[in-house]
Structure 1
Amino acid sequence: MQKEASISNFQPADQLAAIKQNDEAALKALYQQNFQRVEHYVLNNNGSTDEAKDVYQEAFIAVWRNIQLDRFTPVTETSLSGYLYQVAKNKWLDHLRSSHYKKVVPLKEMEDGKVEIVTLQETELAYLGSVRDNLAKLGDNCRELLMRFYYRKESLRVIAAAFDWTEATAKNNKYRCLQKLREFIKNK
């Protein structure tokens, strides 16, 4: 019975040498030992198993290529696995940010057969209306502070001077007011 090769049994320099020589056992072990971790990450971040496989294969090839071109040198036994995971994670995040992954809002059929398209602008306007309505619920100081910072683009230093606060107090109050506004919007 032949023992399955494990990439973690190699020293970092030996791992690299085996991968550079395209050692099938080393490549297979590296691939198999790291896929589950990447798959778990993709599944927990709005992905599917097929997408995890695609991303992992791209990352694996990129890491292999970087090793072939001497662009990566592992320092510890786990740095190769960590590097592969990080490349896969970055590729998944790039995929999520890409236009290929943008959320598509389904068209709603109206009773008379016409199609209603909900535009992003309408959604943004509704959100801005909610912000405006909830701004009115804040106290005068909070409302004034947020208006000065976000709409008039005044610096915290200028705002602090206007309220006779320190800059740190202005920063803390801005944070608290923004949290209060978010809470109002969330609970609406």
Structure 2
Amino acid sequence: MREAYKIDHKLQVVVAIKENDSSALKNIYTRNYPKIEALVLKNSGTKEHAKDIYQEAFLAVWQNIKQDKFIPKTESSINGYLYTIAKNKWLDVLRSKVYKKTIVASQLQHFEIKDEENNGIDDDILKEKRLEDVMLAFKNLGEACKSLLRMFYFEKKSMNLIAEELALDSASTRNKKYRCMQKLRQIALKNN
């Protein structure tokens, strides 16, 4: 009986969102905003930035649920999805040329001091974004490079073993790995 309630409750949230139920939307909106505001304020933003970013992220989540691009299994998965979208949107703002141009000299000095204290944007956010960039670039690599890098980095095979499997000599395998890593870097940098 308890399990049936959980499933029914999950569906109610999704149905409420799809039907634009104002109380359900307001509930999700107000419960999640403080986390996003804290994220933006902690990473060189203002309350106005936080409001703008949050509204964009909230609309994206709402549209993705309505269009079945995101099908949440629980209400907490909606919260996590909303946080991730807002975080990525804020990272995009921080990296944008427009944002960088709006920082005047006095703000820049303050930003650099703050940057040293916090090591810039949250390390976890940067690591996650870098990982996303690398994984996206990896998907765009050719099959031969994917296979070689997968064997070396994920399967932890030695270069000699990889050379045997590819029927190449060790030097050629190392050169090929180097070229594949260069391609991966180029694709990842192009995506930024």
TM-score by length of 1: 0.49
Question: Between Structure 1 and Structure 2, which shows a larger proportion of helix residues?
Answer: 2
Structure number with bigger Rg: 1
